[in-house]
Amino acid sequence: MRIGELSQRTGISQRALRYYEEQGLLRPSRRPSGYREYDPADLRTVRRIRMLLAAGLNTATIAEILPCIADDGQSRAPVCPELYAGLSRERDRINDAIDEFMAARAMLDAIIAAPQHLRSAGVSTR
């Protein structure tokens, strides 16, 4: 498929897809015309990229990780042993982030719930 279709089916802008290639996250083949030709497997790759970006990893880190889960879903790569340290560091970072997010959520919950016992009338919280 070409970039327009991949963009539509993933909801990711063409600019972003080209950016991912520039950063080494995608490696589409090229038609004689120069048009990018994407493999169906790239659909899942793009979703993985988005997941990891959403979790706060940068493109350089993702570029290191992707080969380890790469390609067709069949054979996972040998899992580049030298990456373990980085992976668990990222995992720890994510865990810390989750903790902080939950703490912040608790804070917002406290604010939202507060007036319920400060006011007389029942103010619908949602």
Partner DNA sequence: GTTGACTCTCACGCCGACGTGAAGCTTTAG
Partner DNA sequence: CTAAAGCTTCACGTCGGCGTGAGAGTCAAC
Taking a C-beta distance cutoff of 8 angstroms, is the pair 68, 80 a contact? yes
Alpha-helical runs (H) found in the chain: 3-10, 14-22, 41-54, 59-65, 84-113
Q: Give, as ranges, the residues between 77 and 116 that touch a second copy (CB under 8 A).
A: 78-79, 81, 84, 87-88, 90-91, 94-95, 97-98, 100-105, 107-112, 114-115
Residue 105: CB minimum distance to a second copy, A: 5
Phi-psi region of 56 (alpha: psi -120 to 50; beta: other; left: phi over 0): left
- Which candidate, 12, 85, 82, places its Cα nearest to that of 51? 12
Assign 37 to helix, strand or coil. strand
Per partner kind, with CB cut-offs from 5 to 8 A, the member of a second copy, DNA, none near residue 107 is a second copy
> Which residues of the chain form contacts with DNA (CB under 7 A)?
2-5, 7, 13-16, 18-19, 23, 31-36, 53, 57-60
75 DSSP assignment? S
Tokens (6 digits) for 94: 């994510």
Instruction: Please tell me whether residue 57 binds a second copy under the rule CB under 8 A.
Output: yes
Instruction: Please tell me whether residue 41 binds a second copy under the rule CB under 8 A.
Output: no
51 DSSP assignment? H
Candidate segments 7-15, 24-32, 37-45, 74-82, binder of a second copy by CB under 8 A? 74-82
Using CB under 8 A, list all residues that contact a second copy: 48, 51-52, 54-57, 65, 68-69, 76, 78-79, 81, 84, 87-88, 90-91, 94-95, 97-98, 100-105, 107-112, 114-115, 118, 123, 125-126
